[in-house]
Amino acid sequence: MARHRHALSTNMGSALDAIRFFADSANSVRVFEALTAGPTTSRDLAEQTDASRSTVARILNKGESRGWITSEGSQYELTEVGEIMIAEFRAYLQTLEGVQHLGDAIEWLPPPVHSLNFRHFRTAEIITPKTPTPSGPYDHVAEKIRTTDRVRSLVEVTLPRFVTLIHKQVNERQLDAELVIEANWIETLPAESEQLPLLRARAERDSIWTYDGEIPLNMHLFDDSVTIWLGEERDEERVVRGLLVAEAPAVMSWAEGLYEDYQDEGELLDPMRLQTK
């Protein structure tokens, strides 16, 4: 057991030392990034990175001693291990950037979103309901509905504002709108609900699916972005804390896959289920 702990400690120390090679010097990252383009000279590396010739030489020497860089004459290039090291460190940096960019919003993300690498949220926009525009998150979704050609919603419940707006946009300009919603929510709509005739009209177009189970998030897929509602449980009540808006291809692809999974497991809503409401 002691030998195992020693080996583990040695491996961890070696890994931390490798991380420090990049973390302690932005120039090391720049030099390795420049080398990913192919073989080049130390002079060219100094020009590309704005580092001094002596700094570049020191980085190249350390890289060669680790087996991450190889040279022939005046030409330097990354070894396969060197390419892996800079790629992994770059991904690590991007993940940290995503975490820092999200800030407190990480605590408000619905569980399914945690399956994504946080580096994909480096450019995401977080809209919170703060003064002077407490309706900011809702206004953003409404504006997207007005200007998009297609909206697909995967939600626990429907909001009257969006149901009314989508109904109007579908009729006025042929908006392509789909909805996947919890089956239980449909059953709880009161007979006097103004949403019923609007949802029935959409159901008659075969554009509403009900899912017999819990939908663990609320999101809307538009042509160029996905919006995910952020919230937290407080006194057994879900409180909206904001809206995450992402355009990254990886997030869009994930959202589309998730939407399609729930749609495939759901069933088209029969308009007659709304007829007697």
Instruction: Choose among 151, 167, 141, 133: nearest CA to 230.
Output: 141
Task: Dump the DSSP string for 36-89.
Answer: TT--B-HHHHHHHHT--HHHHHHHHHHHHHHTSEEEETTEEEE-HHHHHHHHHH
C-alpha–C-alpha distance, residues 114 and 109, integer Å: 8
Mean pLDDT of 77-90: 95
CB 221 within 8 A of CB 179: no
- What pLDDT is stored for residue 14 in this prediction? 77
- The reported pLDDT for the residue numbered 276 is 52
Please give the pLDDT value at position 107: 94
Structure confidence at residue 203 as a pLDDT band (50, 70, 90):
very high
pLDDT at 173: 84
Q: Parallel, antiparallel, or unpaired: how do β-strands 69-72 and 75-78 relate?
A: antiparallel
Segment among 3-17, 64-78, 109-123, 231-245 with least mean pLDDT = 3-17
Report whether pLDDT(2) > 60.
no
Q: Torsions phi, psi of 129, nearest 5? A: -80, 75
Q: What is the mean pLDDT of the chain?
A: 92
For position 53, what pLDDT does the model report? Answer: 96
Helix (H) or strand (E) holding 156: none
Every domain of the chain and the residues it spans: 2-93, 109-275
Kind and range of the H or E run holding 238: strand 237-246
The yes-or-no verdict on residue 65 having pLDDT over 90 is yes
Higher confidence at residue 9 or residue 176? 176
HSE on the CB side for 7, CA within 13 Å?
4
Residues 276 and 260: beta-carbon distance below 8 Å: no
Decide: residue 190, CB within 10 A, 0-12 exposed, 13-18 middle, 19+ buried.
exposed
Structure tokens at 39: 């073989």
Lowest mean pLDDT among 25-34, 130-139, 222-231: 130-139
Q: Domain 2-93 belongs to what architecture?
A: Orthogonal Bundle (1.10)
Q: What residues contact 221, with CB distance under 8 A and at least 6 apart?
A: 150, 151, 152, 153, 154, 252, 255, 256, 259
Average pLDDT over residues 93-121: 95
Residue 11, pLDDT > 60, answer: no
Where does 109-275 sit in CATH, by number?
3.30.870.10
Neighbours of 172 (CB within 10 A): 8
- pLDDT the model gives residue 8: 39
For the residues 106-111, what does the mean pLDDT come to? 95
pLDDT digits (tens, 9 = 90+) for 174-198: 899 999 999 999 988 888 899 999 9
2-93 matches 109-275 in fold: no
Residue-wise pLDDT tens digits, 109-139: 999 999 999 999 999 999 999 877 889 999 9
> What is residue 9's predicted lDDT score, i.e. its pLDDT?
47
